[in-house]
Structure 1
């Protein structure tokens, strides 16, 4: 038995009873957790999303992409997969043990995080990356994915488009991740670099400005880089037997077009219209927001045109004899207007698409009116007549109805095109032409290179008009029936026939948008 004089020494290091028990529980809990971790496998990877009401699995939480560097090697046959390397520089907004990327329609060979090999798994349309160590909030990381990018698939499914002489891209709305691993939601814009290697005789063009062209012998590598952030759905790469005529736009903005070599002379009268169209739009909304622009005319039957950033995609058939000149001009202006409305100012959620398409339709209509086509008022009166039916078919302009189970959704309905322009017409009728024009300029100036939504537009309109317009926007953007048109009490909207939701025609799938994009 130890001497009694030793007892105070042991007592001096005892913890008080209220503290000792939690400590013992914590130690035991940690030991049990370690034992369980040693016995049980980690939780299975799962597909994630940021909760967009229309595309809930698009985008991923926990990080922002700062920049993409996408390397593509094209073998010369547009039905064979391309070898690809996609590098993402990301900033962590949460601590992540796993990081999800949107990716499908390709095979992943390896993944690295900051140069170290990382585990990965594909789940639904996600690539789930597990780095060696968790990524801390506030830190930055570089994810390198070696993969293939497969152009094969259903027509108009989105992603790669096979053209008569190569490939082009059409990623709107949810198809960017069919081409490269990404955070495929417009809320996460980033800078892009493209490195495209193709056989000699082919020309590669991408968003932004060409930085380098390197002759490798039997192949050529083309490098392009954007100077402004871009949404994944706006990425564009064209590979084909293309001519790239150039010219100057307003204030020397470089314009470079991409057309089939065989069609260059025939298409030149259309191409040289762009500078004047840019001047026309600048006179209404302010300076062109990007470093370059161009028209990409693809030898493909897409059924749509698309406002890919700095290089709008058009199908060759649009420039044939089937359409009057004023109509083609107005469609060119529609896609050009998107460079301000949709590309520079990008929707924060897909339900804000009316801000893109409504504005592009608005300026398309004004240009058509000045070019000898229909008048704006005629088009808006017709849109008003059909508006109630459009709302019944797919929901109001800023609250598109989500798909039912098993149904694919098409955002590209008349309600976001002419219906969106109708909202702008009603707004101009309400606040006056002067305030409306100041609003348009302020919108593209204050949200340039960023994302914005319907609530932002309503707040800015109220500020410009000097009065609260929340009731106006609530009724025009979210109600099931079209409100009365200010200044036109005689206008009537044809009520839709009574029908249950199940009897309404299903929405078309993505990529089936009518002209224009």
Structure 2
């Protein structure tokens, strides 16, 4: 039918609008959501709702795992193409909503071109068939080889070295894992068991999370493991995963978890997830890690001479505290990391004070004395310096541990213990299963205290030098002389004397 003048104008307007939208779309290539510390992590234009990850382990740590990752998401903008973070694997095919899609890899991005343009605010299912390579630089995270299998250590930017993902903690989602391994292996993953099927000399294990999870907190353990079960507060199922040969030696440590859970609940309220436990791996990472519902620990922490019992327990509580601070309430950006590590260090120190007579005030005074040096070496707590590209773990500097716990100590000194405890409980309740920012913490602290704490907290969080400590005007921070040595990894501090 010939176009009338009205139809012609409408058609020209529609064409111009489409051209304008297309002009605003990013060109195909690596993307990111602009995180200050990890600018290439995450991808714009969609929100992941769930991951379904199927992995087949063939029994050796040098052979890639076969994998299928299915992502259910919802678009937040019109998309001609969409990106996933992915590296250390080979992609064989991609489907979008059941139809074959074009794809390319560039840098650490998998760039997908759907068969048709995706409008905003619609559901989309992405299925990627790929391999997951456990070899390479294990110090950069992802799969971690153990003496009898594999585990994951994905913090901060390494989940996409295992599976395609929107690899940023601001986009949390539900996870289902289906892991097939030879019958001699035991598989455990984050969440609760959801089935087990034996077939042709192998077993497929299924686990499912009941709460959304950041990609960096995913955990899958494959090994010749014993799974030890006990009950925590209010009937909470607690399961620990340990090398079979070590179950008796580790049991005295593992049986302490229910009491530690009860202690944390007295501090901040109910445990936020469906299960908890320790994954004790025979590997050397240099750190422990708060993977959701199943924290990763090196075997040597419990078996090596030189770690006092109070210290081991305080590290156990550190990882447990992360289940509230960092896991249930995740950082919106990686600059908000102090909210994770500062709080975990705070409760670690509080536990040591109550159970081992290690005074919190003395630890905070020592931290105050070193705080200016820490800030000079690594930036202030809420604006840490960018980690080196070849050593991303260097983000985990002393300023985000004791330097950030010191911020919480100053805040409690300023508003009082009662208001501080109310703030902590309200924070984890208000932001449960979500992500939150430093600004939101400041706003909530101000509301709980009944006065504006912005200027007070800005100095503590963003200042290049340490403000005076409320209640302790005599405390002094030594002028920085040289860069402080960095810890070996996200959690493990040097051995105490």
TM range (shorter): over 0.9
**CA spacing shift, 1:117–1:270, aligned 2, 3 Å:** same
Aligned counterpart, 2:232: 249
Aligned counterpart, 1:399: 383
Tell whether 2:312 aligns with 1:312: no
Is the 8 Å Cα contact of residues 244 and 257 (structure 1) preserved in structure 2? yes
Q: Tell me the CA shift for residue 495 of structure 1.
A: 1.2
**CA spacing shift, 1:154–1:78, aligned 2, 3 Å:** same
**CA spacing shift, 1:61–1:507, aligned 2, 3 Å:** farther
Alignment gaps of 5+ in structure 1: 1-12
User: CA–CA distance in 2 between the matches of 1:120 and 1:405?
Assistant: 26
Aligned residues: 484
Is the 8 Å Cα contact of residues 289 and 491 (structure 2) preserved in structure 1? no
Is the 8 Å Cα contact of residues 94 and 129 (structure 2) preserved in structure 1? yes
Is the 8 Å Cα contact of residues 327 and 373 (structure 1) preserved in structure 2? no
Aligned counterpart, 1:411: 395
Aligned counterpart, 2:84: 101
Aligned counterpart, 1:10: none
Aligned counterpart, 1:436: 420
Q: Tell me the CA shift for residue 374 of structure 1.
A: 2.3
TM-score between both structures, scaled by the size of structure 1:
0.90
Tell whether 2:480 aligns with 1:496: yes
**CA spacing shift, 1:407–1:206, aligned 2, 3 Å:** closer
Is the 8 Å Cα contact of residues 45 and 121 (structure 1) preserved in structure 2? no
User: CA–CA distance in 2 between the matches of 1:254 and 1:496?
Assistant: 47
Alignment of 1:171-210 (within 5 A): 171-210=154-193
- Deviation digits for residues 84-129 of structure 1, max 9, x if unmatched? 0000000000000101000001000000001100000001000000
Tell whether 2:28 aligns with 1:51: no
- Deviation digits for residues 355-410 of structure 1, max 9, x if unmatched? 00000000000111122252111110111001001111111000012257877562
User: CA–CA distance in 1 between the matches of 2:317 and 2:394?
Assistant: 23
Q: Larger deviation: 374-383 or 174-183? A: 374-383
Q: Tell me the CA shift for residue 155 of structure 1.
A: 3.2
- What's the RMSD between the two structures over aligned residues? 2.4
Q: Tell me the CA shift for residue 14 of structure 1.
A: 9.2
Choose from 311, 323, 327 the match for 2:311: 327
Alignment of 1:101-500 (within 5 A): 101-320=84-303, 321-403=305-387, 408=392, 410-497=394-481
**CA spacing shift, 1:514–1:309, aligned 2, 3 Å:** closer
2:151 aligned counterpart, secondary structure? strand
Aligned counterpart, 2:68: 85
1:101 aligned counterpart, secondary structure? strand
Q: Tell me the CA shift for residue 447 of structure 1.
A: 0.5
Is the 8 Å Cα contact of residues 196 and 221 (structure 1) preserved in structure 2? yes
User: CA–CA distance in 2 between the matches of 1:225 and 1:178?
Assistant: 21
**CA spacing shift, 1:378–1:455, aligned 2, 3 Å:** same
User: CA–CA distance in 1 between the matches of 2:87 and 2:130?
Assistant: 10
Q: Tell me the CA shift for residue 311 of structure 1.
A: 0.2
Is the 8 Å Cα contact of residues 407 and 506 (structure 1) preserved in structure 2? no
Q: Tell me the CA shift for residue 163 of structure 1.
A: 0.1
Is the 8 Å Cα contact of residues 408 and 507 (structure 1) preserved in structure 2? no
User: CA–CA distance in 1 between the matches of 2:267 and 2:353?
Assistant: 15
Alignment gaps of 5+ in structure 2: none
2:138 aligned counterpart, secondary structure? coil
- Deviation digits for residues 42-83 of structure 1, max 9, x if unmatched? 996210000000000000000000000000000000111100
2:127 aligned counterpart, secondary structure? strand
User: CA–CA distance in 2 between the matches of 1:14 and 1:102?
Assistant: 48
2:394 aligned counterpart, secondary structure? coil
Is the 8 Å Cα contact of residues 398 and 486 (structure 2) preserved in structure 1? no
User: CA–CA distance in 1 between the matches of 2:475 and 2:83?
Assistant: 50
Q: Tell me the CA shift for residue 292 of structure 1.
A: 0.3
Is the 8 Å Cα contact of residues 334 and 516 (structure 1) preserved in structure 2? no
Q: Tell me the CA shift for residue 23 of structure 1.
A: 5.2
Is the 8 Å Cα contact of residues 407 and 461 (structure 2) preserved in structure 1? yes
User: CA–CA distance in 1 between the matches of 2:134 and 2:312?
Assistant: 29
User: CA–CA distance in 1 between the matches of 2:486 and 2:310?
Assistant: 30
